[in-house]
Amino acid sequence: MSNMQKYFKEYFSKIKTGLNFIDYYQMDKLVDLIEKTKKTGNKIIIAGNGGSASLASHLMVDFTNAAKIRAVNFNEPSIITCLSNDYGYENWISKALDFYADPGDVVILISSSGQSKNMLVGAKKAKSMNVNVITFSGFLENNPLRMLGDINFWVDSKIYNIVEMVHNIWLLAIVDYLADKNNGVSS
């Protein structure tokens, strides 16, 4: 086996190991909460930084189109830079929640490290607004973001791309489940 083949074998093994950290009880709770959110006419708000911001955009589209659930994300550069400029980068998600969140909404905050200050401030703001906080994180098991969530998903890895890939698979599995359920597809 070549060095390249060994690298990829180990890399994919790390993703597989990360996937095994799924807490099915938390997954059930999240699906139930999303279905309740849809029934009450509330929405899902999704935010992340960097690669997690890209995941937030992808999820917003799939929740909206495939699962037929209202969803928004905060990845418009103009809103990020405006709120960051006026209130500080660590506060921009909190300020966006002021403008867009309603009691009973669900906010999904994605941070590989679980230590992004803007996510932490946003989680605290959401809780003060009676918005359900769902966290997706990695790195340290007791990271600060995970401590703030109502429902929490954690990947035992300190490698950004491994954590992000696992988050991507978990979140898109939820979308696929909800879309299949809406379309009468049984498993």
Closest C-alpha among 121, 127, 126, 148 to residue 136: 148
| Domains of the chain: residue spans and CATH | 3-182 (3.40.50.10490)
| CB-based contacts of 157, cutoff 8 Å, min separation 6 | 14, 17, 18, 138, 139, 163, 166
In this predicted model, what pLDDT tens digit does every residue of 133-172 receive, in sequence order? 999 999 999 999 999 999 999 999 999 999 999 999 999 9
Widest pairwise Cα distance in the chain: 55
Express the helix, strand and coil content of the chain in percent, nearest 5 each: 60, 15, 30
Name the 3-class secondary structure at 62: helix
Per the structure block, which two tokens stand in for 26? 């938390």
Residue segments in the chain with a per-residue pLDDT below the cut of 70: 186-187
Phi, psi of 101 (to 5 degrees): -90, 145
pLDDT of residue 187: 54
Give the span between the Cα atoms of 93 and 50, in whole angstroms. 14
pLDDT of residue 186: 56
CA distance 182 to 117: 36
